[in-house]
């Protein structure tokens, strides 16, 4: 692939609301089990970015829930000799599966917003995590 190749990806920041607190669901990267990430993957043909993100969340993290339709962020990174452009959405977790497609390949953790901020390494994702309460408030009042 040339450096001009472009890959559309989408992902979610899965969260659980517990009274006035939030928990973020993080998973380990498949290639580096000590690196904590949020679920994401290529936007599949015939699926919207939201549908693809929901599919990745189920496969990679074993989470099901409601995805808020407004995109909350994006970032890019180099891979496969090109550039991956990731659209991010919020997913309010309604169900945590005990067994899911990649449960043997990845670890899953529920962490506070502050813990997630310190475990994640992508600045755009870290910032969304810290802004989660206000992002949700904005979406609900729209």
> How far is residue 86's CA from residue 83's CA, in Å, rounded to a whole number?
10
CA separation (Å) from 131 to 19, 56, 86?
A: 17, 23, 18
Residue 106: name the closest of 4, 27, 3 by CA. 27
CATH architecture of 6-141: Alpha-Beta Complex (3.90)
- Residue showing tokens 């607190």: 21
CA separation (Å) from 46 to 4, 63, 69, 99, 126?
A: 23, 22, 18, 27, 30
pTM: 0.92
Mean pLDDT, all residues of the chain: 92
Tens digit of pLDDT for each residue in 125-134? Answer: 999 999 999 9
Q: What percent of the chain has pLDDT over 70?
A: 96
Tens digit of pLDDT for each residue in 67-109? Answer: 999 999 999 988 888 899 999 999 999 999 999 999 999 999 9
């Amino acid at each position: 692939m040339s450096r001009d190749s472009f890959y559309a990806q989408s992902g979610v920041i899965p969260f659980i609301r517990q009274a006035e607190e939030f928990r973020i669901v993080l998973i380990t990267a498949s290639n580096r089990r000590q690196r904590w990430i949020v679920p994401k993957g290529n936007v599949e043909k015939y699926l919207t970015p939201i549908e693809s993100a929901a599919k990745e969340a189920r496969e990679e993290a074993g989470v099901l829930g409601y995805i808020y339709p407004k995109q909350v962020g994006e970032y890019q990174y180099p891979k496969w000799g090109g550039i991956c452009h990731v659209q991010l959405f919020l997913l309010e977790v309604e169900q945590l599966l005990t067994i899911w497609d990649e449960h043997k390949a990845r670890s899953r953790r529920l962490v506070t917003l502050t813990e997630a901020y310190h475990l994640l390494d992508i600045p755009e994702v870290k910032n969304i995590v810290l802004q989660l309460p206000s992002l949700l408030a904005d979406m609900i009042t729209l």
